[in-house]
Amino acid sequence: MHWVDSVRYLGVYLVRFRTFKCDFDNAKSSFYRAFNAVYGEIGRYGSKEVILQLIYSKRFPCLFYAIEVCPVNKTQEKSLEFTINRTLMKLFRTVSSNVIKECRCFFGITDTKLLIVKRKMKFLRKYCSSENGLCM
């Protein structure tokens, strides 16, 4: 048996650490690749609304895959937030954080921390309403 620093299990990268920890670097890389593929194809021709809808509905899930069951610390949370902000900066061709905040508000892109909490709550509701009997 080989000792490794990380292992992929069901698409989630588990990292060797004192406590249970997941790594989101591969998810971020996958998200950047997917964003660049979409932006490269329709970036000049499509409207910002169309591009954002494609990214939000089709590519955010690969960034937040299985985040419901992974513990997320502040550093990882900020890193995911930075990933989203950088893609928005590229899309809107700006480096101003104030412009990005306004764009996020206008297009309804929620804060990463709130998005993670919502996904965890949805997962727990579904889990507790299932018939496995573990929550009762």
Q: What is the pLDDT of residues 19-40, one digit of tens each?
A: 888 889 888 998 999 889 888 8
Beta carbons of 124 and 130 less than 8 angstroms apart = no
Between CA 119 and CA 78, with CA 73 as vertex, the angle to 5 degrees is: 85
Residue 134 lies in a domain: no
Residue 136 lies in a domain: no
**What residue type is 102 in one-letter code?**
E
Strands 12-15 and 22-23: antiparallel
Summarize pLDDT for 68-107 with one digit per residue, the tens. 888 888 999 999 999 999 999 999 999 999 999 999 999 8
Residue 128 lies in a domain: no
What is the number of structural domains in the chain? 1
Structure tokens at 67: 């985040």
Domain ranges, residue 99: 6-119
